């Protein structure tokens, strides 16, 4: 029995090493990005709201994270990919009179943004996906490479 456990462990390590040598994450994330079909079933973003999906960082190394750690990283993530944009997003004016339509770096669906910590409303789907509804004023940065920003628990 111990030989089988040892062989399984060695094969898992060798698979992880070969995946990293290919430039892939050592361990695939359990929750894949949300699909277009699931988004179509979800509905549309209204008014100035933006629906984002937390960025799932690439797994580095050979350690397997506990599910509670993975869930916490998704909840505490401040980098997210825009999946839906309401019709008034970046078209309104702030209370101080700033016209958001004048913003030169308006993100579009598929772009990554850095948003405020604990911003918006969390939505947990039955598929295991977690989304967040935020407003355009909670977006602080359009992120070109989300791997540059690292959050630690």
pLDDT in tens, 22-34: 877 666 656 678 8
In the block, tokens 């111990």 appear at 2
Q: Are strands 121-124 and 79-85 parallel, antiparallel or unpaired?
A: unpaired
Question: What value does the mean pLDDT take over residues 99-125?
Answer: 90
- Cβ atoms within 10 Å of 125's Cβ, excluding its own: 12
Distance CA 112, CA 142 (A): 6
User: What is the reported pLDDT for 115?
Assistant: 93
Nearest one of 26, 53, 65 to 127, comparing CA atoms: 53
Q: How many CB atoms lie within 10 A of CB 139?
A: 25
Across residues 59-87, what is the average pLDDT? 80
- pLDDT attached to residue 9: 56
User: What average pLDDT does the chain have?
Assistant: 82
Calculate mean pLDDT across residues 10-16: 73
In degrees and rounded to multiples of 5, residue 115 shows phi and psi of: -120, 170
Could you say which DSSP state residue 136 is in? G
List, in order, residues 6 or more apart from 139 with CB less than 8 Å away.
Answer: 50, 107, 113, 114, 115
pLDDT of the residue at 23: 76
Which tokens is 151 given?
Answer: 């959050």
How far apart (Å, rounded) are the C-alpha atoms in residues 94 and 149? 28
The predicted structure's pLDDT at residue 27: 65
Q: What is the DSSP-derived secondary structure letter of residue 148? A: G
pTM of this prediction exceeds 0.85: no
- Does the structure show a pLDDT above 90 at 113? yes
pLDDT digits (tens, 9 = 90+) for 38-72: 988 999 999 889 999 998 776 666 667 777 777 77
Give the total residue count for the chain.
Answer: 153
Please state, in angstroms and rounded to a whole number, the distance separating the CA atoms of residues 142 and 84.
15
């Amino acid at each position: 029995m111990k030989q089988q456990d040892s062989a399984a462990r060695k094969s898992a390590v060798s698979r992880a090493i070969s995946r990293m040598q290919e430039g892939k994450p050592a361990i695939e994330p359990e929750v894949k990005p949300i699909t277009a079909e699931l988004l179509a079933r979800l509905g549309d973003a209204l008014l100035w709201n933006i629906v984002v999906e937390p960025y799932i960082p690439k797994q580095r190394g050979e350690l397997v994270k506990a599910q509670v750690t993975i869930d916490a990283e998704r909840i505490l993530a401040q980098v997210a990919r825009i999946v839906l944009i309401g019709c008034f997003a970046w078209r309104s004016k702030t209370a101080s009179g700033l016209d958001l339509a004048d913003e030169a770096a308006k993100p579009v669906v598929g772009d990554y943004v850095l948003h405020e910590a604990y911003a918006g409303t969390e939505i947990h789907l039955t598929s295991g996906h977690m989304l967040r509804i935020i407003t355009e004023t909670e977006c602080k940065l359009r992120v070109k490479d989300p791997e540059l920003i690292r959050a630690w628990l």
